[in-house]
Amino acid sequence: MQRNIRLEIEYDGTDFHGWQIQPKLRTVQGEIQERLKAILRHEVSLIGAGRTDVGVHALGQVANFKTENPLDGESIQRGLNGLLADDVVIKKVQEVDPDFHARYTATSRRYKYRVYPGRTAILRRYVWEVLYSLNLDKIGKAAEAIQGEHDFSSFCVAESAKENNICEVTHATWGQSGDELIFRIEANRFLHTMVRSLVGTLVEVGRGYFSVADFVDILKAKDRRKAGPTAPACGLYLVSVNY
């Protein structure tokens, strides 16, 4: 009897070429699929909730696969963690309903982005080192404009734009944690590089290159050329996926 197995995964994306499997490149999906094949003794098609880019990290990536192997979840988890490199950890394994689909049954995804004001040797692989002062109040006010349903064409890679670039953002805030500035966002869907493009443009607001009104105009323009730079991948984390 075929079973549907759900994984919750944490990974450091620094040394991966993203989530999605690619020939001759190290990817998170590829590494886990290979280890599952060794444990279950058959080929596995692993479906991820989100295709994180090169260098992006995950605290709560979700994936699922189908198998007829009767091995229990605890044994699968122990086997995977024993075979995977240290930069990937399987946090949870459970059997779920046959119709569960990690990507298509998700209702929302949550990301965070970490900005560090200055240089850091220890955190440099996990934050964006910003070497100029930022006005957090202005950035926060600009982020308020993101909330709700909008066309985010101004904040996605032009060649990957879809017919429908409308996303509903339910949460978008900036806060401070120690020395770091943290951007948190939740939405029903995200476009390719959307969070990093938003962060790069919001940082330009904080620097004074754009006003809050300018940011609103950029959002309405539906034109990537109007927005600011794309923030580095190292500061971005997929926090969780909701179902």
Complete DSSP assignment for the chain: --EEEEEEEEE-GGGSS-SS--TTS--HHHHHHHHHHHHHSS----EES----TT-EEEEEEEEEEE-----HHHHHHHHHHHS-TTEEEEEEEEE-TT--TTTT--EEEEEEEEEES--SSSTTTSEEE-S---HHHHHHHHHTTSEEEE-GGGS-GGG--S--EEEEEEEEEEEETTEEEEEEEES---TTHHHHHHHHHHHHHHTSS-HHHHHHHHHHT-GGGS-PPPPGGGEEEEEEE-
Give the separation between CA 145 and CA 25, rounded to whole angstroms: 38
Element of type H or E holding 151: strand 148-151
Confidence (pLDDT) at 162:
65
Residue with token string 């948190």: 184
Is the pLDDT at 22 greater than 90? The verdict is: yes
Question: Three-state secondary structure along 35-88?
Answer: HHHHHHCCCCCCEECCCCCCCCEEEEEEEEEEECCCCCHHHHHHHHHHHCCCCE
Q: Is residue 151 among the annotated active site residues?
A: no
Q: Name the DSSP class of 154.
A: G
Is the pLDDT at 160 greater than 70? The verdict is: no
Stretch 3-8: mean pLDDT: 98
Q: Which of 12, 53, 99, 223 is catalytic?
A: 53
Structure confidence at residue 164 as a pLDDT band (50, 70, 90)? confident
Is the pLDDT at 203 greater than 90? The verdict is: yes
- Tokens at residue 124, please? 């440099």
Confidence (pLDDT) at 157:
83
Domains of the chain plus CATH, in order, are: 3-96 (3.30.70.580), 108-242 (3.30.70.660)
Weakest-pLDDT range from 50-64, 91-105, 150-164: 150-164
What mean pLDDT is reported for the chain? 96
* 119 Cα distance to chain centroid: 24
Which residues are CB-contacts of 34 (< 8 A; sequence separation ≥ 6)? Answer: none
**Amino acid residing at 20:** Q
